[in-house]
Amino acid sequence: MALEDPSWKIFFEENPMPIGFHENVNLIKEFCQQAAMKKNRVALVTSGGTTVPLEQNTVRFIDNFSAGTRGSSSAEYFLEAGYQVIFLHRSKSLEPYFRHLVGKNIFEMIEVSPDNVAVGKKHQLELGKLAEKYQRHRCDLLMISFSTLSDYLWLLQATAQQMQILGPLALLYLAAAVSDFYIPASQMPCHKIQSSGGPLSLSLQLVPKMLAPLVTLWAPNAFIVSFKLETNETLLETKSNEALLKYHHHVVIGNLLNSRKVHVVLVDSNSPNAEEIRLSSSDLENGIEIEFKIVENLKIRHDQYYADHKTG
C-alpha cells in the first residue's frame, strides 16, 4: 500500500508551508467546528490548476489545465443542496457566483443619472437572482486560495485534518487539476533562469500520491470523491477504476478534456458498474449544467454513506 512509502512525508519536510498558512488553518478550523456543532454537512471543493515554479523568485512556472468551472459551479450546487462549502481554489480562477459575471462589462450594466446609480432594467432580473443566491449562501462558504502545488498540498492536508471533526458529514470533492511533476524547493534555482545559459533542460520529480495518506490518515471517515482527467477515451474507465482500487476511497469521476462539460463517468466502490452522466440537448437548451447532475447524484451516495457510518 502506498502509505508505507514515506515520500509524502518527505514532500512536506522539503517544501515550506505557504504564507498565511496558520491564519487559513484557523479559519478552516473554526468553520468546521461550527458546522460540526450544528451537525451540518461540509463539502471541501478543490478547484483550478496548481503551478509548479521553476525558480524560487518565480518568473516562470508550469501550469495545469483548469479554468475552475467544475469546482466553482459544483460549489454553488453543494450550497443549494444544504452543504457548507470550503472552496480551496487556484487564486484568480473562477469562483462561485462571481463566475457568472466573467466577461461581462459592469459599466454597461449600470445606469447613471445625476442623483442615482442603479442596475440597468435589462440586467435587474439576472443580477438580482445572482445577488440573492450569493447573499443567502455567503456565510456557508469559506474561500481559501492557492497558487503552487506545494501550497495546495499543505492546505489540502490541513483542511482534511480539520474536517475529521465532522466524521461522515464531511465530503471531499477533489476537482483541482494537480500536477504529477514538480521541482523540489532544494533543487530550484534562487533567481530567474538566464537564457544566456543556452537551451533549458528540465528534470521534474514525481509528486508523491497524496490520496493514500488523505484517505487513510487525514480524513479516514469522510466521503471522498476524486476526479480523473484523461484525453484518451479508451483509458478513461480503466484509469478511474484503477484509482479506486488503489486508494480505496468512494467515487472516482472520470472525464475527458474535450467532453468534460457534457459527459462524465462515475465509478463507485459499492457498485460493479460505472454510471454515466450525459447532458441531453434539452438539458443544454435549458441551461442545465452537468455539475448540477453530478452533485445531485453524489448527494444520494453521501446520504447512504452517512446512514451507514453515523454513530449515535
Decide: 218 and 160 in contact? Cβ < 8 Å.
yes
Radius of gyration of the chain (CA): 21
* 89 lines the binding site for ligand PAZ (CB under 6 A): no
- Position among 15, 24, 51, 69 found at the interface with ligand PAZ (CB under 6 A): 69
* 177 lines the binding site for ligand PAZ (CB under 6 A): yes
* 236 lines the binding site for ligand PAZ (CB under 6 A): no
**Quick one: cell of 129?**
437572482
* 302 lines the binding site for ligand PAZ (CB under 6 A): no
Q: Phi then psi for 17, rounded to 5 degrees?
A: -70, 155
Among the listed ranges 32-40, 142-150, 193-201, 227-235, the one in contact with ligand PAZ (CB under 6 A) is 227-235
- Position among 229, 236, 252, 266 found at the interface with ligand PAZ (CB under 6 A): 229
* 74 lines the binding site for ligand PAZ (CB under 6 A): no
* 225 lines the binding site for ligand PAZ (CB under 6 A): no
Give the distance between the most distant pair of CA atoms in the chain.
Answer: 70
Helix (H) / strand (E) containing 51: strand 51-53
Task: Identify the sign of the CA torsion 60, 214, 250, 241.
Answer: positive
Decide: 85 and 43 in contact? Cβ < 8 Å.
yes
* 227 lines the binding site for ligand PAZ (CB under 6 A): yes
Nearer to ligand PAZ, 35 or 93 (CB): 93
- Smallest gap from residue 229 Cβ to ligand PAZ (A): 3
Q: DSSP alpha helices (H): ranges in 19-145?
A: 21-37, 69-80, 106-109, 121-137
Q: Which residues bind ligand PAZ (CB under 6 A)?
A: 66-70, 175, 177-178, 227-229, 255, 260
